[in-house]
């Protein structure tokens, strides 16, 4: 048992861990494999200092670390990836071989799922942020 040391969980999924789930450590931090390198390094340093990475990182990273996952269908993921990176609904439809109206319906469903998860995405920029948080598109800020 390790008493008084921080634990950094580095995973391909978004683990929702608390110190109570891991016996002994002073704190548990969670990072995604898709997080930009500078955020991973900040998480490692914070864990080394036995401090909360959430205090060290900006609010968008805190959201990504502790945000509830949203269960998107494979098609919704495809739509979000394209739409969030700048495609119009018509361009997404053309790329995926579906109508623009179907794309709009998917976007509405995606937004509903994010609202239900407590992570609203009312604008296209919000959808981009959620897609970055969920590892669907690269951040671009590195």
pLDDT at 86 over 60: yes
Measured distance CA(85)–CA(140) in Å, rounded: 11
Contact (CB, 8 A) for 35 and 55: no
Q: Report if residue 139 sits inside a domain.
A: no
Residue 138 lies in a domain: no
**Percent of the chain clearing pLDDT 90 (strictly above):** 35
Burial class (CB in 10 A: 0-12, 13-18, 19+), 128: buried
Per the structure, the complete domain to which residue 23 belongs is given by 6-66
Angle at 125 between CA 121 and CA 129, to 5 degrees: 70
pLDDT number for residue 105: 97
Do 53 and 91 lie in one domain? The reply is no
Find the CATH number of the domain harbouring 95.
1.10.10.10
Q: Are residues 85 and 46 in the same domain?
A: no
CA dist 38 → 9, 34, 56, 63, 142 (Å): 16, 11, 11, 16, 7
Same domain for 84 and 40: no
| pLDDT average, residue stretch 87-96 | 96
Stretch 120-142: mean pLDDT, rounded? 83
| pLDDT tens, position by position, 15-51 | 444 444 444 444 455 666 677 777 777 776 666 665 4
84 CB-near residues (< 8 Å, 6+ apart): 124, 127, 128, 130, 131, 132, 136, 137
Highest mean pLDDT (candidates 65-69, 92-96, 125-129, 135-139): 92-96
The more confident residue out of 82 and 44 is: 82
pTM above 0.95, yes or no: no
141: in domain:
no
Strands (E) across 37-79 are located at none
Q: Are residues 86 and 61 in the same domain?
A: no
Buried b (16+ CB within 10 A) or exposed e, 57-94: beeebebbbebeebebeeebbbbbebbbeebebeebbe
pLDDT of residue 67: 58
| pLDDT per position as a tens digit, 131-141 | 888 888 877 64
Please tell me the predicted confidence (pLDDT) of residue 26. Answer: 44
For the chain, give the mean pLDDT: 74
* 111 vs 140, more confident: 111
């Amino acid at each position: 048992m390790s008493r008084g040391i921080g634990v950094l969980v580095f995973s391909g999924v978004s683990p929702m861990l608390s110190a109570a789930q891991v016996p002994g450590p002073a704190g548990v931090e969670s990072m995604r494999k898709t997080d930009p390198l500078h955020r991973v390094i900040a998480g490692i340093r914070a864990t080394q200092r036995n401090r909360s990475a959430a205090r060290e990182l900006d609010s968008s990273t805190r959201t990504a670390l502790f945000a509830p996952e949203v269960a998107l269908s494979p098609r919704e993921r495809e739509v979000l990836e394209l739409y969030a990176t700048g495609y119009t609904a018509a361009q997404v439809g053309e790329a995926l071989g579906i109508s623009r109206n179907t794309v709009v319906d998917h976007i509405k469903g995606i937004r509903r799922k994010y609202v239900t998860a407590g992570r609203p995405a009312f604008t296209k920029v919000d959808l981009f942020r959620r897609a970055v948080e969920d590892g669907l598109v690269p951040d671009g800020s590195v």
